[in-house]
Amino acid sequence: MRIFITGAAGFIASHIQDAFLDLGHEVAVLDNLISGKRENINPKSKFYELDIVNPEVEAVFQEFKPEVLCHHAAQMEVRRSVAEPAYDAKINILGTLNLLEAGRKVGLKKVIFASSGGAIYGEQDFFPATEKHPLRPASPYGLSKMVGEEYLRLYERLYQIKSVSLRYGNVYGPRQNPHGEAGVVAIFLEKMLKGENPVINGDGLQTRDYVYVADVVKANVLALKNEVNGVFNIGTNCETSVIQLFEILSSFSQVKRAEHAPAKLGEQRRSLLSFEQAKSEISWLPQVSISEGLRLTFEWFKNCKKS
C-alpha cells in the first residue's frame, strides 16, 4: 500500500519507515529537517522537505495519493509548549488538521497517530493507566495530543477515515537525539560516553514506562491491518526510576556516579501504562526488556561515537 510518514527524519518514524519499506510498501516521507537528520531518510522513500503546516502539503498528497498516513511530526518539547502555547498549537493541532484535510481530498483510508501515554493522562489516578483513564494533560503539548485524537474520531465519523492512536510510553533506542528536550536515556548516554557524570533532577525516584523503539515499530506495523482501529497504550507495564536507569547504564560504562540537581517544576512523578488492550485486540506485546534495550542502545551510541 501507499504510506505517507511525517517526521521520518526523526528518531521513531525513521525506524517505522525502514520497517514499512522492508515489508514492500510504497513509502513517501515528509520532514522539515529542523530537528530530524537527513541521513535517517531511507533512499528508497520519496522525500518531501516540507513543514506539516505548509499549504503545499495538499499538492504533495495529490501527487502521492496515500492510502495510509503515519503521523509522527510534532512540536514535542513540553517546556516549549508551556512557554509558547500558540506555536505548539500551530504545529501539533493546525499541522495535523492540514494533513487530515489533504488526506480527505485524495481518499485517505487510515491514519496512524503518534500520541502520548504520559502527557495525555497527566498525574495518574491508578496504576497502570488503561485507555479508560481520565485525560488530564498538564501541558499544551499533552492537550495537543488529546485534540489530535479527537480530530481523528471526528474525521472517522464524517469521512470514514479509520484511525489508530498509539499512546506511547517513553520511547528510547538507537537514533534518539540527545539534544533539546530529549529522552533521559539519550542524554545520559551522551554524557557517559564522554566520561562525564550525568545529572539526575530531584531524588531520582520519579518513574517512567520505557519502551524500546523496535517494539513501537511493531505496534505501527500491526496498526496497518484493515481491522485495527481505536486507541492503544504502547508501554510495558513496568516502572523504572531514573536512579534504576542510571544503574543499568553504568553497568555498561566506566562512569559510576551521577550528580544531582533540583527537581524540575511540575515534573510528573509516576507514569505506567497497561498494554492489555493492545495485547487482546492487536496481539501486541513488548518484547525487549529494559536491561536488554538499554544495552542495545548503549552499543549503538558507542559505535556512533567511534565513527
What is the predicted pLDDT for the residue at 181?
A: 60
What is the predicted pLDDT for the residue at 141?
A: 96
What nine digits make up the cell of 102? 489533504
What is the predicted pLDDT for the residue at 286?
A: 98
Q: How many CB atoms lie within 10 A of CB 284?
A: 24
What is the predicted pLDDT for the residue at 180?
A: 63
d(CA 9, CA 175): 10
Q: Is 151 a catalytic residue?
A: no
Query: What are the per-10-residue average pLDDT scores of the chain (307 residues)?
Result: 98 98 98 96 98 98 98 94 96 98 98 97 97 96 98 98 98 91 90 97 96 98 98 98 98 97 88 98 98 98 88
Quick one: DSSP state of residue 262?
Answer: P
What is the predicted pLDDT for the residue at 47?
A: 98
Q: Which is nearest to 152 in space by CA: 168, 163, 140?
A: 163
From the candidates 48, 121, 141, 210, give the one annotated as an active-site residue.
141
What is the predicted pLDDT for the residue at 307?
A: 74
Q: Is 107 left (phi over 0), alpha (psi -120 to 50) or beta?
A: left
What is the predicted pLDDT for the residue at 264?
A: 85
Reduced 3-state DSSP string for 141-195: HHHHHHHHHHHHHHHHHHHCCEEEEEEECEEECCCCCCCCCCCHHHHHHHHHHCC
